[in-house]
Homo-oligomer: A and B are copies of this chain.
Amino acid sequence: MGKVLVLYYSGSGNTGKVADFVAEGAAEVPATKVTVKSVSEVSAADVLWCDGIALGAPTHMGSIPWQMKRFWDVEMQPHWGKIDGKIGCAFATQGGWGGGAELNCQALMTVMMIYGFLVFGVTDYVAQQFTLHYGTTIAGEPRSEREMDSPRRLGRRLSEWVATYVEGRREEHPLVNGRTRFPWSLD
């Protein structure tokens, strides 16, 4: 079984909703166990348990909220250098488009990289003019179809990489597993 952790901080509740969609997508891949935890519920043991992690937060002042940062600065610090090789990706909400969610995803991935994780974005589009190249970014509450599909796709891709690389199930590689990657022809 691939083990996926969706770890988030949410102030208003919006990022919590996005986290649930990430988890939904992660569960689409067979033989994957998915756990969702907020940063107030999580412990280092949850991170140690997982093969892959989707890390999410609202964009506070262009970057990671202090509540999420504290977890990685303090709780995870004793494990630094000992948990290399997990697979990670990011999701972020923001007050409006252009509000820094991509920069926040980049910061979240930077934190994961220093723990030795391999991080990724998603080439796929989930609708015209809607993608998640550096992680899922949402403005406000996820309401439209595309705002729900983006986090689902992120979670699904995470489970696909975990299945392919950690579990060795090559048939789950996104280039061969046959799942739709673009809602329209690129040609």
Contact residues of A with B, CB < 8 Å? Answer: 60-67, 69-70, 72-74, 76-77, 80-82, 84-85, 87, 95-103, 106-107, 110-111, 113-125, 127-137, 139-140, 150, 161, 164-166, 168, 173-175, 181-182, 186
Contact B85 A73 (CB under 8 A): no
Q: Among B95, B114, B124, B161, which residue has its beta carbon within 8 angstroms of that of A62?
A: B114
Instruction: State whether A62 touches B134 (Cβ < 8 A).
Output: yes
Contact across chains for B129 and A120 when beta carbons are under 8 A apart = no
Pairwise interchain contact A95-B139, C-beta atoms closer than 8 A: no
Contact present for A80 and B110 (CB under 8 Å): no
Return the 10 tightest CB-CB contacts between A and B, nearest first.
A102-B102, A165-B165, A66-B70, A96-B129, A118-B118, A62-B110, A66-B69, A96-B131, A116-B123, A66-B66
Report A89 CB to chain B, min CB distance, Å: 10
Given the known inter-chain contacts A64-B69, A69-B63, A120-B117, please indicate yes or no for A100 contacting B110, CB distance below 8 A.
Answer: yes
Question: What separation, in Å, do the CA atoms of A103 and B133 have in the docked complex?
Answer: 11
A69-B62 contact, Cβ under 8 Å, with A103-B103, A114-B123, A130-B97 = no
Distance between Cα atoms of A164 and B114 in the complex (Å): 19
Which residues in B have their C-beta under 8 angstroms from that of A130? 96-98, 139
In the complex, what residue of chain B is closest to A111 when comparing beta carbons? B61
Assembled-state Cα–Cα distance A175/B119 (Å)? 18
Partner of A73, one of B61, B80, B82, B87: B61
